[in-house]
């Protein structure tokens, strides 16, 4: 059963509005006096606060940078691996945010500009300096894809210099991470190629010995069949290389790696369907073809990896370089004064209303009033 609209209670009924109007009228001198005092005190306090200036720079991540460029060979190797990215991918600005918010970048700026002494931190504590520095920076990823870096400082020139240096720290760490991963990729390929060459050499020597001992060679009609089998084995080995590289870079739980494993299982099933070859010289010839095919695929990747390791990684594009600010960024003195006056006025009005209620309670119910006095140590007004 619903309550009729006319009978529903409201906090804005006539009695409440009359009571509120009366309260404002009775307490106006008390409230205005407190607001005046609060305003004067707030003005004095905010005038004593130091000015802070903001150095702001805006950067845009390049289209091809970081590890995406440095791992160009791996990108071409996995043409269908659309989500291949390094630790600082060009299309993922969140990775750049991670670098900007890293301890490495912050410590670099703190040491370069001597912020421990500027902030007056005792015992040269880097932890305290980092916390203080974090309270004076704002890093935001804008909707259009660029990153805004804002650094606050009492010195307008130093604020601009720190913001610009932040970009240099970003590029330095980006380069270090890219070189680290490209070196890991190159070394992995080196190890893989060395293993392939050893296997190929062993197979060739075994095949040569078998030919010398038996005087039997592979007939032309069998070579095409063996080459087809070799192609299938080389594709399987190539897929295994894909999975191994990706697991080193991204871990074994990446969803795309699971897809690659499924493709590898499909190839393995096809290989299991191939009948066993009884002749030893055919098996050795097949192994030679497989190893040679794999080596043919991997060697260009290795050469390209060496070239990419020597290339300089593109840096972020600076859209707006930070310049010394003409006006202070904070404190917002007018806002602080108005906030103080409003807060004191609200507290004064609330306090006045509570005092009136206590006086009414003392007249209506002295016993309950005495109980409240004992509980809250209220003095008679």
Give the C-alpha distances (Å, rounded to integers) separating 129 from 45, 81, 115, 125, 331.
26, 43, 7, 6, 21
Of the ranges 75-89, 140-154, 182-196, which one carries the lowest mean pLDDT score? 75-89
CA distances (Å), origin 256, targets 56, 365, 367: 39, 76, 76
More confident position, 142 or 111: 111
Read off the tokens for 227.
């080459």
**The pLDDT of residue 91:** 43
Highest mean pLDDT among 77-91, 293-307, 353-367: 293-307
pLDDT in tens, 286-296: 778 778 888 88
Higher-confidence residue of 192 and 367: namely 192
For the segment 154-184, what is each residue's pLDDT rounded down to a tens digit?
999 999 999 999 999 998 888 888 888 888 8
pLDDT-above-70 percentage for the chain: 76
Least confident of 9-18, 72-81, 232-241: 72-81
State yes or no: pLDDT of 15 exceeds 60. Answer: yes
Give the pair of three-digit tokens for residue 232. Answer: 């299938």
pLDDT of residue 48: 81
Q: Which of 4-8, 160-164, 217-221, 226-230 has the highest mean pLDDT?
A: 160-164
Q: What pLDDT score was predicted for residue 169?
A: 92
| pTM of this structure | 0.57
Instruction: Please determine, for residue 377, whether its predicted confidence score (pLDDT) is greater than 80.
Output: no
Q: What's residue 73's pLDDT?
A: 45
Please, what's the largest Cα pairwise distance for the chain? Answer: 126
Residue 193 forms beta bridges with which residues? Answer: none
- 92 confidence band (pLDDT: 50, 70, 90): low
Q: What is the mean pLDDT of residues 122-148?
A: 88
Contacts of 183 (CB under 8 A, 6+ apart): 309
Confirm if 226 and 218 have CB atoms less than 8 A apart.
Answer: yes
Topology of domain 53-180+314-320 in CATH is Bacterial polysaccharide co-polymerase-like (3.30.1890)
pLDDT at site 14: 54
Residue 53, C-beta contacts closer than 8 angstroms, at least 6 positions apart? 152, 153, 154, 155, 156, 159, 324, 325, 328, 329
Please report the pLDDT score of residue 226 as a whole number. Answer: 64
d(CA 345, CA 33): 9
Residue 378 has pLDDT above 80, yes or no: no
Residue scoring higher pLDDT (165 or 80): 165
Residue 345: CA atoms inside 13 Å, Cβ hemisphere, count? 13
Mean pLDDT in the chain? 77
* pLDDT top residue among 280 and 310: 310
Interval 337-356 mean pLDDT: 86
Going by pLDDT thresholds of 50, 70 and 90, the confidence category of residue 106 is very high
Put the strands of the sheet holding 53-60 in their side by side order: 137-141, 147-153, 53-60, 317-320
Condensed to tens digits (0 to 9), the pLDDT of residues 245-267 reads 777 766 677 777 778 888 888 88
Three-state SS annotation for 285-302: HHHHHHHHHHHHHHHHHH
Where does CATH 3.30.1890.10 sit in the chain? Answer: 53-180+314-320
Tokens of 268: 């393995």
CB-CB contact of 90 with 64 (8 Å): yes
Q: With 60 as the cut, is the pLDDT of residue 69 above it?
A: no
329 and 152 in contact (C-beta within 8 Å)? yes
In this prediction, residue 379 has a pLDDT band, given cuts at 50, 70 and 90, of low
- Two structure tokens written together for 377: 């140590």
Give mean pLDDT, residues 73-87: 41
- Averaged over 44-70, what is the pLDDT? 75
Q: What is the pLDDT of residue 25?
A: 77
């Amino acid at each position: 059963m619903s309550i009729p609209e006319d009978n529903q209670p409201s906090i804005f009924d006539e009695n409440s509005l009359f009571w509120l109007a009366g309260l404002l009228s009775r307490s106006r001198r008390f409230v205005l006096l407190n607001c005046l005092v609060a305003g004067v005190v707030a003005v004095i306090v905010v005038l004593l606060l130091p000015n802070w200036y903001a150095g702001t720079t805006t950067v845009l991540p390049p289209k091809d940078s970081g590890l995406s460029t440095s791992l160009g060979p791996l990108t071409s190797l996995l043409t269908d691996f659309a989500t291949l990215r390094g630790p600082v991918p060009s299309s993922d600005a969140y990775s750049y945010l991670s670098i900007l918010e890293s301890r490495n970048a912050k410590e670099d700026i703190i040491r370069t500009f001597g912020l421990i002494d500027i902030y007056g931190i005792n015992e040269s504590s880097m932890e305290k300096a980092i916390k203080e520095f974090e309270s004076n920076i704002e890093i935001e990823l804008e909707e259009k894809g660029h990153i805004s870096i804002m650094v606050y400082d009492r010195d307008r020139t130093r604020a601009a210099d720190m913001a610009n240096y932040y970009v240099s720290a970003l590029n330095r760490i980006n380069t270090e991470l890219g070189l680290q991963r490209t070196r890991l990729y190159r070394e992995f390929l080196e190890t893989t190629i060395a293993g392939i060459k050893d296997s190929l050499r062993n197979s060739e020597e075994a095949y040569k010995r078998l030919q010398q001992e038996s005087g039997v060679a592979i007939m032309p009609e069998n070579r095409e069949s063996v080459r087809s089998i070799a192609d299938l084995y080389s594709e399987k080995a190539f897929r295994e290389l894909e999975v191994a590289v990706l697991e080193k870079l991204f871990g074994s739980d990446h969803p795309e790696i699971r897809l690659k494993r499924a493709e590898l299982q499909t190839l393995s099933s096809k290989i299991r369907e191939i009948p066993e070859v009884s002749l030893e010289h055919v098996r050795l010839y097949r192994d030679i073809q497989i190893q040679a095919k794999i080596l043919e695929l991997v060697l260009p990747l290795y050469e390209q990896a060496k070239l990419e390791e020597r290339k300089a990684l593109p840096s972020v594009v600076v859209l707006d370089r930070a310049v010394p600010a003409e006006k202070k960024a904070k404190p917002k003195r007018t806002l602080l004064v108005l906030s103080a006056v409003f807060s004191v006025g609200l507290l004064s009005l609330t306090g006045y209303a509570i005092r009136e209620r206590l006086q009414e309670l003392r007249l209506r119910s002295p016993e309950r009033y005495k109980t409240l006095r004992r509980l809250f140590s209220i003095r008679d007004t």
